[in-house]
């Protein structure tokens, strides 16, 4: 368990550092519609991290996945709790690295890659209620498409590790694509899908990143509870 927790800490730190800096690079590029590049970046990065971490820790790197793993009986409460703590610490580490290496002007422009809903009301693209619904919906999409396959031992054996990682990473990229195309505004950065990723910048930068921060926790965890109710009726191996 402790080896898994250490893996979760390190993997989460470098996941948020790599993913956030890459997404900011896409948004800051000269492409006509850089948001179309973001889902591809999300897919590639998550696929690489998943295929490396799944054999060691289960490849959670996200409190949502640790929580649903506990609800589904694939992890004990103690393991899930330690993983969540490791993921939150890893997020802080990753964003500390990014804050020290990224250009200050770029970091300020994108709020260090943190999860935002509005810019003090001036650039609001979505209400907190709308953001909550989107967080819930996109998280459920991730669970329905990706986690359903990942937790099915028979299908995992049939598909193989690489294909399972591809399905989960694809579900993540699809959820991100849906969220940024639905809103498509700088005031809302799209779904967080990872409360730990939202927590790191909020603790380091504060300010606007705390506005509606609860949405990025409540929406995904509520989706996990609803998914658990749905999965009870699924056939078990």
pLDDT tens digit sequence for 66-99: 999 999 999 999 999 999 999 999 999 999 999 9
pLDDT at 122: 44
108-137: per-residue pLDDT in tens?
888 888 888 865 544 445 788 888 998 999
Residue 187 has pLDDT above 70, yes or no: no
Rounded CA-CA distance 61/172 in Å is: 13
Could you tell me the domains of the chain? 2-231 (1.20.1080.10)
Question: What pTM, to 2 d.p., does this model score?
Answer: 0.90
Q: Show contacts of 151-155: CB within 8 Å, 24+ apart.
A: 151/72, 151/74, 152/237, 153/237, 154/237
Rounded CA-CA distance 115/168 in Å is: 21
8-29: per-residue pLDDT in tens?
999 999 999 999 999 888 878 7
Please provide the average confidence, as pLDDT, over all residues in the chain.
88
């Amino acid at each position: 368990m402790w080896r898994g927790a250490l893996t979760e800490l390190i993997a989460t730190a470098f996941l948020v550092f790599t993913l956030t800096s890459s997404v900011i690079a896409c948004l800051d590029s000269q492409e006509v519609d850089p948001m179309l590049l973001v889902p591809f970046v999300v897919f590639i990065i998550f696929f690489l991290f998943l295929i490396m971490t799944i054999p060691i820790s289960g490849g959670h790197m996200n409190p949502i996945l640790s929580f649903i793993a506990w609800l589904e009986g694939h992890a004990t409460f103690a393991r899930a709790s330690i993983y969540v703590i490791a993921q939150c610490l890893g997020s802080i580490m990753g964003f500390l690295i990014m804050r020290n290496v990224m250009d200050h002007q770029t970091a300020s422009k994108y709020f260090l890659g943190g999860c935002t809903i509005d810019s003090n009301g001036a650039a609001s693209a979505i209400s907190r209620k709308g953001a909550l619904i989107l967080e819930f919906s996109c998280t459920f999409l991730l669970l329905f498409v990706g986690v359903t396959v990942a937790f099915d031992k028979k299908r995992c054996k049939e598909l193989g590790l690489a294909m399972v990682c591809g399905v989960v990473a694809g579900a993540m990229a699809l959820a991100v694509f849906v969220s940024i195309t639905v809103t498509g505004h700088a005031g809302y950065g799209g779904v967080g899908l990872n409360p730990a990723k939202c927590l790191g910048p909020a603790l380091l930068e504060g300010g606007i990143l705390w506005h509606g921060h609860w949405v990025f926790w409540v929406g995904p965890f509520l989706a996990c509870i609803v998914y658990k109710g749905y999965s009870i009726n699924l056939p078990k191996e």
